[in-house]
């Protein structure tokens, strides 16, 4: 069994689009056999905004279908829905008691939304606390994230430190002693504090401080070239969209603004279509695309046609698997139920021990 454990979650936004497929799920597929993996459809996180209950049920199920069709293997990882494991919210309340309000108010997402909305729900403020509970409930060592999510993970690490300082036996004294040794040590080259040595043992508490496992794919921009690919902005390509609809979206997609005329040379690095080539096309094609762009050997439509063909090579099998999964709804029910039970067996043990350490049991 892999020695390290990872946790990652995704909101139930319905069927995947290529942005979250390339930015997260494709990486999960590669990681699921390298680490003990817990992948969660985080439906509690989805209820901080107005929604229709039946729509949420549909979107949660569609997300599960998309994940499995994309290569998430329930026999190689634990796939489950967050609300099927009530220990998530129990641990979130526990963590609320050790999390300073100021830390939550400084989170980028909260500042952004509170600045744009006259009235904001407490769930938006506490969102990162539940996120910390999601991760730490399974004592995950690593969390696959994009660069824009590192701030929330750092808060999870801070919450783990605060809880450990109060309740993990010996943690506070060990941490203080370790910090003292680090501050007293000096570098022979500079005379300045040397920091922790490479072989220094990390202070371990009941909850580990999860580290980021940065996703190799850069943030996927929407077809408008203005913002991250998002359904709310209408700039996405669905993972299981009909090929004709995909091409109708791809054909007018924004490219290098310097290429006004067919004969204008471009800079592939600033072109969103080139970034999608890097995600879907073979390396030799990516190199050829770059040359054709810089020399105006191809027009943008020609470049997009090649991209479309390579996208189809990857997406067509996923569409076929979606049809197969939807044809056997009871099997999907069993997969999610089995995943939830497996997750709960870990979650129950974590909560039981944490409550003993806190004097709650």
Per-residue pLDDT of the chain (361 residues; tens, 9 = 90+): 567 999 999 999 988 999 999 999 999 999 999 999 999 999 999 999 899 999 999 999 999 999 999 999 999 999 999 999 999 999 999 999 999 999 999 988 888 877 787 788 999 999 999 999 999 999 999 999 887 778 779 999 999 999 999 999 988 776 656 555 545 555 454 444 444 443 334 568 999 999 999 888 777 899 998 888 988 888 999 999 999 999 999 999 999 999 999 999 999 999 999 999 999 999 999 999 999 999 999 999 999 999 999 999 999 999 999 999 999 999 999 999 999 999 999 999 999 999 999 999 9
The segment(s) of the chain belonging to CATH 3.40.50.620 are: 5-168+205-220+329-358
Is 211 marked active-site? no
The whole-angstrom separation of Cα 299 and Cα 277 is 15
SS3 call for 7: strand
Catalytic residue chosen out of the listed positions 139, 228, 249, 342: 228
Report CA-CA distances (Å) from 330 to 173, 250, 264, 325, 334.
52, 36, 55, 10, 6
Is 226 marked active-site? no
pLDDT of residue 146: 80
How many CA atoms lie within 13 Å of 132's alpha carbon, on the beta-carbon side? Answer: 31
* 36-41 β-sheet, strand order: 78-81, 36-41, 5-10, 142-145, 211-214
The burial of 111, by beta-carbon neighbours within 10 Å (0-12 exposed, 13-18 middle, 19 or more buried), is given as: exposed
The whole-angstrom separation of Cα 223 and Cα 86 is 38
Burial 204-234 (b: 16+ CB within 10 A, else e): ebbbbbbebbebebeebbbbebeeebeeeee
Candidates 1.10.240.10, 3.40.980.10, 3.40.50.720, 2.60.120.620; correct CATH number of 240-322? 1.10.240.10
CA angle 69, 75, 78 (to 5 degrees): 85
pLDDT of residue 41: 98
In this structure, are residues 207 and 163 in contact, taking their beta carbons and an 8 Å threshold? yes
Residue 5 pairs with which residues in a beta bridge? Answer: 36
The segment(s) of the chain belonging to CATH 1.10.240.10 are: 240-322
The whole-angstrom separation of Cα 160 and Cα 210 is 9
Residue 185: what are its φ and ψ, rounded to 5°? -70, 140
Please tell me the CATH superfamily of domain 5-168+205-220+329-358, with its number.
HUPs (3.40.50.620)
Catalytic residue chosen out of the listed positions 231, 249, 278, 342: 231
pLDDT of residue 199: 38
pLDDT of residue 215: 84
In this structure, are residues 276 and 307 in contact, taking their beta carbons and an 8 Å threshold? yes
Residue 257: what are its φ and ψ, rounded to 5°? -65, -15
Is 244 marked active-site? no
In this structure, are residues 208 and 160 in contact, taking their beta carbons and an 8 Å threshold? yes
């Amino acid at each position: 069994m892999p020695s390290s454990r990872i946790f990652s979650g995704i909101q139930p936004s319905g069927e995947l689009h290529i942005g979250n497929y390339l930015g997260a799920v494709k990486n999960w597929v590669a990681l699921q056999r390298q680490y003990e993996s817990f992948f969660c459809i985080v439906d509690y996180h989805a209820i901080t905004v107005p929604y229709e209950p039946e729509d949420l049920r549909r979107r949660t199920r569609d997300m599960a279908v998309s994940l499995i069709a994309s290569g998430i293997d329930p026999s190689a990882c634990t796939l489950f829905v967050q609300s099927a494991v009530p220990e998530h919210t129990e641990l979130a309340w526990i963590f609320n008691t050790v999390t300073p309000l100021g830390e939550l108010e400084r989170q980028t997402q909260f500042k952004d939304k509170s600045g744009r909305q006259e009235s904001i729900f407490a769930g938006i403020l506490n969102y990162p606390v539940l996120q910390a509970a999601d991760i730490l409930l399974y004592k995950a060592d690593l969390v696959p994230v994009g660069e824009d999510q590192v701030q929330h993970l750092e808060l999870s690490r801070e919450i783990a430190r605060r809880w450990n300082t109060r309740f993990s036996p010996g943690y506070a004294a060990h941490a203080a002693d370790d910090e003292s040794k680090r501050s007293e040590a000096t570098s022979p080259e500079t005379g300045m504090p040397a920091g922790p040595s490479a072989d220094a043992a990390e202070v371990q508490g009941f909850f580990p401080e999860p580290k980021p496992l940065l996703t190799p794919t850069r943030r996927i921009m929407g077809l408008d070239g203005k913002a991250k690919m998002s359904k709310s902005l209408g700039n996405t390509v669905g993972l299981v969209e009909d090929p004709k609809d995909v091409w109708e979206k791809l054909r007018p997609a924004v490219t290098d603004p310097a290429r006004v005329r067919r004969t204008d040379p471009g800079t592939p690095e600033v072109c969103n279509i080139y970034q999608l080539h890097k995600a879907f096309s073979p390396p030799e094609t990516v190199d050829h695309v770059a040359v054709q762009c810089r020399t105006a050997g191809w027009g943008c439509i020609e470049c997009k046609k090649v991209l479309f063909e390579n996208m189809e090579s990857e997406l067509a099998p996923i569409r076929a698997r979606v049809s197969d999964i939807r044809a056997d709804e009871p099997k999907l029910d069993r997969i999610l139920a089995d995943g939830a039970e497996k997750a709960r067996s870990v979650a129950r043990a974590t909560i039981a021990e944490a409550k003993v350490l806190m004097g709650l049991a």
